[in-house]
Amino acid sequence: MAVNGGIARTLTNPKECLMAQDIEPDLAGKLTFDSDKGAGRSKWVAIFLALLLVGWMGSGYLIPSASRQDAASDAPAPRAITVAVMPSQAQDVQLVLTAEGQSEPDRATDVQSEAGGQVVSVSAARGDLVSAGQEIGRIDAETIKAQLLQAQAQLEQSTRDLNNAIALQERGVATEDRVSSARAAKAAADAAVTAAQEQLENTIIRAPFAGRLNDLTLDVGEFVDPGSVVAEVIDNDPLTVVIQVPQQALSRIETGQEATVNFITGEQRTGIVSFIGANADQQTRTFRVEVTVDNPDSVMPAGLSARIALPTGQARGHFISPAILSLGANGDLGIKTVLEDNTVAFSQVAIVRAQTDGVWVAGLPEEADIITVGQGFVTAGDVVDPQPMADDQTADMSQ
């Protein structure tokens, strides 16, 4: 048997057998079946299926079937988005200018010792409330008392000399020069007495005005020099709260206007605008405004932080939750409402007053249906299905 060109056949001729023995077999050859019956049928089948697939896809893309068009026309319209709305009526709202400030004492001064010497008594303590002229401490005055006695004795002597000179002049014995000399001696003695009395009074250290003794450095037995600071007195009644007001709001504030002062300690007081600065700060371009608050017995200390609320007029506005606010396409702050035809409208608003439980905004119509839930899923012009707010949500908004 010999293999030639992929066709196996049997060698029957002896001569062919001898020739086949002389030829070496071709082991690198490949078997092919091209000459077999039906060997090329699979290729034609594959080509036919490919052409059929391409034709079907092309016909479906270029020539849509009538059934698909009918199905598209019969598709239901998109459903309107359901949103919750709250009817709102504009109300009069009090406009308030708020500013942060700090309390300052009405008066504060250092108390100086006008005399020098050893401290012999201290009659007050730090933190005490003192009245005007009340004694705080006393300096040793024995030397000054002796000087006063001496000056008084000289005054008595000079007074007698003057009287004698005048009597002698009336009798024609003494001259006018003697009388003038005696009169000058008496005036000098008067001045010496007055100076000694003043020095004696200066040995008593007194409070210059009513207030609280904020500091005291006097100790019995120590020595103080004339002019040294020994105490500090602060007058916190009334208390002055200083705020900085922007220039655009200055025209809405006037002297004598009432203000509400909320201290950081939780105390709330009513104050009066007592001063409005006439020159703006060069750095901040704001004006200094002082609000005076009554502070009996100096209960409120100076230096406390406080928030001032100044009423500046009225406006019409709607009270809403800050969560309802939205941003427009240009970044404008606004509110989304539902019109009568159930379309969404975007209205730019301005916050006129902020509170802990909500904000007052201006810019909406007198009556508006405000979208409270779902405003983030709709835009101006969309058709929506408005539904009233739940009772608990309405209660939260009204609080």
Q: What is the CATH number of the domain that holds 164?
A: 2.40.50.100
Residues 185 and 88 in one domain: no
**In a domain? residue 384:** yes
Angstrom distance (rounded) from CA 94 to CA 92:
7
7-42 tens-digit pLDDT:
444 444 544 444 444 444 444 445 455 555 555 566
Range of the domain at 130: 112-233
Residues 291 and 363 in one domain: no
Q: What is the CATH number of the domain that holds 268?
A: 2.40.30.170
Look at residue 260 in the predicted model and tell me its pLDDT.
93
Query: Encoding tokens for residue 75?
Result: 């598709």
**In a domain? residue 75:** no
304-319 burial by CB neighbour count: b if 16+ within 10 A, else e? bebbbbbeeeebebbb
**In a domain? residue 69:** no
Look at residue 78 in the predicted model and tell me its pLDDT.
65
Residues 321 and 260 in one domain: no
90-142 tens-digit pLDDT:
999 888 888 999 999 989 999 999 999 999 999 999 989 999 999 999 999 88
**In a domain? residue 77:** no
Domain boundary among 314, 331, 351: 314
Angstrom distance (rounded) from CA 389 to CA 275:
49
Instruction: Name the stretches of the chain with pLDDT < 70.
Output: 1-43, 54-78, 390-399
**In a domain? residue 215:** yes
Look at residue 8 in the predicted model and tell me its pLDDT.
42
Q: What is the CATH number of the domain that holds 380?
A: 2.40.420.20
Residues 206 and 131 in one domain: yes
Domain boundary among 171, 200, 233: 233
Element (H, E) at 352: strand 350-355
Look at residue 91 in the predicted model and tell me its pLDDT.
92
Q: What is the mean pLDDT of the chain?
A: 82
**In a domain? residue 27:** yes
Look at residue 68 in the predicted model and tell me its pLDDT.
54
**In a domain? residue 163:** yes
Residues 118 and 227 in one domain: yes
Residues 278 and 215 in one domain: no
Look at residue 46 in the predicted model and tell me its pLDDT.
73
> What's the structural domain count of the chain?
4
**In a domain? residue 70:** no
DSSP string computed for 73-137: HTSPPPPPEEEEEEEEE-EEEEEEEEEEEEEE-SEEEEEE-SS-EEEEEE---TT-EE-TT-EEE
Look at residue 118 in the predicted model and tell me its pLDDT.
92
Residues 173 and 247 in one domain: no
DSSP string computed for 207-233: -SSSEEEEEE---TT-EE-TT-EEEEE
Domain boundary among 298, 314, 330: 314
pTM of the model: 0.56
Residues 217 and 265 in one domain: no
Look at residue 20 in the predicted model and tell me its pLDDT.
44
